[in-house]
Amino acid sequence: MTTVKEQIELRNKIVKGLELTYERLIEFKKQKNSVLVVLKDNKIVRIKP
């Protein structure tokens, strides 16, 4: 069983990883000049980089 401190550290690592992945995704979309598709207010939105 993990302690609360270990769970918080793990959560912070996961959040950092997700932020890094998001930044890399945006850079990739800019390089390929492709559309980014997101869900906003229950609607599919296409965003140009």
Q: What is the pLDDT of residues 5-42, one digit of tens each?
A: 999 999 999 999 999 999 999 999 999 999 999 999 99
- Split at pLDDT 50, 70, 90, the class of 3 is very high
Element (H, E) at 49: none
Structure tokens at 11: 């959560």
**Amino acid, res. 1:** M
* Dihedral over Cα of 35, 27, 38, 41: its sign: negative
Please tell me the distance from the alpha carbon of residue 41 to that of residue 25, in angstroms, as a whole number.
Answer: 21
Whether pLDDT at 49 is above 80: no
Which region, left, alpha or beta, applies to residue 33 given φ > 0 means left and ψ of -120 to 50 means alpha?
Answer: left
